[in-house]
Chain A
């Protein structure tokens, strides 16, 4: 049976050593670069005409812009729009990486927790920096809910702090686990088809897992979009906490 984990192997394409660190260009880096090039290329081509009545490709670009802008405006308000470039880049990068991963034989960047953890840490520290820069020590009010008796306040503050610190973990694990699990499931069902085909008279059963794999592929496309959406949505909410810690 084909190894379902093999698709997540990292291998070096161009070995690079920098100050004793291994910063080689790997297949993961390649797909990240591909995702960025794809996004940049798409927007350059689609927005070239800049017509008032958009062409089909231009309207796709505009819809994606409106989608993320609406998400950010709804959850962080107008003051949150300053961080639109950050949020939009995050969404497009994760979405493009997830979709590139759906191409058979391609590598899925977001199925590695290093990548998603780095993205979540970026959001986490952005929230911290923005929160303290905008509100100063007032930002700490995020951990002190109003109307709590002084006796149990230390307990509540401890719980709130733990809740805050758990954000980057759930933020990164969700994206990573969804992509990893989905791709392993697809591979396993593909493996079942191959195994059944080689099992003599049982090969009449082979279409069964094949049908399942087809259905799962459709579901995976949905998950690829949904997880990019959920990641961005949570980023918006965390930014909202940084901008308006009072409530």
Chain B
């Protein structure tokens, strides 16, 4: 992702590597300063928290529908097959269980995607920044 952007910048002659490094250092410096200010200003509870709660509700809702919809689809398929083949109630039972398995699979996949999304957004930095050897 960052590689092509880097190349493009150099081709246009906007930034040499040293300038880029200096710029990045300045940005990260500014970032940590901003973090400090933000922390002082409103600690933990703020509109960010409210947004996270809204997001959490949306995610929870998403998980619930992922699970339930697969169970419903599985049940419906089983019921239709039973009705068609006259094997009541065996295929319904089988597909109900399969639907549940599909639901769990859906939830696992959705969770995986959310995790990836979250890691991409925060870069794995979940807490506030703490100075270390590299700073």
Query: Could you list which residues of chain A lie within 8 angstroms of chain B, going by C-beta atoms?
Result: 155, 158-160, 162-163, 165-167, 169-170, 173-174, 177-178, 218-219, 222-223, 226-227, 230, 237
Contact = CB atoms under 8 A, between A and B. Distances in A.
Contact of B98 (A162, A170, A173, A178): A162
B126 interface: no
A170 B101 contact: no
Interface stretch (B24-32, B33-41, B69-77): B69-77
A158 B70 CA distance: 12
B54 A166 contact: no
A166 B61 contact: no
Interface of B: 50-51, 54-55, 57-58, 61-62, 65-66, 68-70, 72-74, 77, 95, 98-99, 101-103, 105-106, 113
B58 A226 contact: yes
Contact of B106 (A163, A173, A174): A163
B62 A174 contact: yes
A168 to B, nearest CB: 9
B101 A222 contact: no
Contact of A158 (B62, B65, B98): B98
B58 A166 contact: no
The 6 closest A-B pairs by CB, nearest first: A169-B69, A170-B69, A166-B70, A162-B102, A163-B102, A170-B65
B105 A159 contact: yes
B58 A223 contact: yes
B103 A166 contact: yes
A229 to B, nearest CB: 9
A166 B55 contact: no
Contacts of B54: 219, 222-223, 226
A2 B106 CA distance: 39
A167 B70 CA distance: 8
A230 B62 CA distance: 9
Contacts of A218: 50
A165 B74 CA distance: 9
12 contacts: A158-B95, A162-B74, A163-B70, A165-B73, A166-B70, A166-B74, A170-B66, A173-B69, A174-B61, A218-B50, A222-B50, A226-B58
